[in-house]
Amino acid sequence: MIVSFQGNFKDVEGEGLVSCVNNLRKGLLSKEVKIVYNEPVKQAHIHTSGFLVSIKYFFSKNKPKISFYGNLDAGFFLMLKNHWQYFFLLYNETQPIIKEIKHVFFSILSTAIPVFIKRFFINKFSEIIVPSDYFKKKLRNENVKVIHLGIDIKKFKNKNLKNKKLTIAYFGHNSPIKGVIECIKTFSILKEEDYDFRIYLTKFSRKTEKLAHKYNKNVKVCGFVNDIVEEYNKCDIIVLPFWSPGGAIATPLVLLESMACERAIVTSNLSHIREIVGGSAICVNPFYPKQLASAVRNLARDKKERVRLGKMARNQVISNYDLNQMIEEYARLYKK
C-alpha cells in the first residue's frame, strides 16, 4: 500500500511537526505501508499545522484525508504582537529576511480567517484526524477522529542525572508566542536565587542572549544541541509558558519530551495544554511572570513534589502519547 503525505516537509530544523511525521513514516514501513511525499497516488493524506495549505486540496475531485495539527483560534492580535516583539526584541540577523517576512504574512493571514470559515473547509475532507479532544470539539464534526501525536518513549527517558545546582530551563523556538520573553522575565524575578538558568533555542540568537542578560546576567543561552535528551535531564524544572493555542502545534512535542524525561514542568493554563499534561504539571496563566516565578520557587523547595510530578508526567506520555501507538492507529486508518 502506498500513501502520499501532502504538505511542506522541507523545514526540518527543529520543527516538531516535520520530525513527528518523519518518525511516523519510518514506523509505517514495518506495517507494510509505504509513504511518499507530495506525489500523485490513489491515497493522499495532508499533514499540516497551517490552515491555508488545506484550501489547495479542497477543490480536488477526490478529497484526501487531512491531519490538522494547528489550532483554529490562534488569535489574530496575539500573532501580530508575536511578530512585532520578535522583530524588535529577538530577531536573529542571520535569518533570511525574505523568508521571515513570508512566514509573517502567511501566519497573520491564517489567523485572520474566522474560525467558522476554517471549520467549513476542514469538515469537507473525506476523513479528518486531529491530535486532541479539545480540537475535535472545535470542529463540531462527529466524524473527526483523534490520533494523539507520539514520541519515542525509549529515547526520551529519565537518566537520573544529579546536578550541582538546581537548574531551570526553557526549550523551544526563538519566538515570543512560545513564551521565551515571559521566561526571561521570570528568570529576572528569580535572579537572586541560587539557580542555574538556561534557555535552549532551536537556533541561537545573539539578540535573545543580549535581552536575557539585560534581565539576568547569569542566564545561559544555547542554540541547537545534538543530544536533547541529555539536556532535558540536566534540568530540574522546565518552563514552557505558551501564550495561546497558536503558540505551538496542537500538541507541543517539547512538552511531551520533557514529560517523558520525568521533568517537573511549569506551563500555561490553556485548555489543550491541560488535556495533554493531565494534572502532571503546574499550569499558570499566560503573561504572568510573577505566577511563573512563584510556581518555580515552590517546586524548587519541594524535591518530592518534583519527583511525583515527573513520574506522573511520564506515565501520562506512556499511556497516551507513545509513538508506536500513533503508528498503529495510522496503519489501521490506511488499511481500513
The predicted-structure confidence for 146-166, as pLDDT tens digits, reads as follows 999 999 999 999 998 888 899
One domain, residues 266 and 306? yes
One domain, residues 228 and 146? no
One domain, residues 182 and 52? no
Residue 313: give the domain boundaries: 167-320
Within 30-132, residue ranges assigned H as helices are 52-58, 76-85, 97-112, 115-122
The predicted-structure confidence for 55-80, as pLDDT tens digits, reads as follows 877 777 777 899 988 888 878 888 88
DSSP 136-161: HHHHT-TTEEE----B-TTTS-----
Q: What pLDDT sits at residue 82?
A: 86
Per the listing, cell 520578535 goes with: 86
The predicted-structure confidence for 95-141, as pLDDT tens digits, reads as follows 677 777 777 787 788 888 898 998 998 888 889 999 999 999 989 88
- Could you tell me which residues are beta bridge partners of residue 264? 237
One domain, residues 211 and 272? yes
Residue 208 covered by a domain: yes
**Interatomic CA distance for residues 323 and 184, integer angstroms:** 32
Start-to-end CA span in the chain (Å):
11
One domain, residues 214 and 330? no
Residue 207 covered by a domain: yes
pLDDT band at 323 (very low <50, low <70, confident <90, very high): very high
Nearest to 44, CA basis, from 151, 126, 131: 126
One domain, residues 279 and 248? yes
One domain, residues 124 and 176? no
CA dihedral 74, 77, 79, 81 (to 10 degrees): -150
Tell if the pTM clears 0.95, that is, is over it: no
Q: Determine the angle formed by the axes of helices 289-300 and 180-189, rounding to 10 degrees.
A: 60
- Sheet (strand 264-268) strand order: 220-222, 196-201, 167-172, 237-240, 264-268, 282-284
Domain count, the chain: 2
Between 140 and 300, the higher pLDDT residue: 300
Q: What pLDDT sits at residue 52?
A: 79
Tell me the pLDDT of the chain averaged across its residues. 90
One domain, residues 185 and 217? yes
One domain, residues 50 and 29? yes
Question: The CATH number of the domain where 13 resides is what?
Answer: 3.40.50.2000
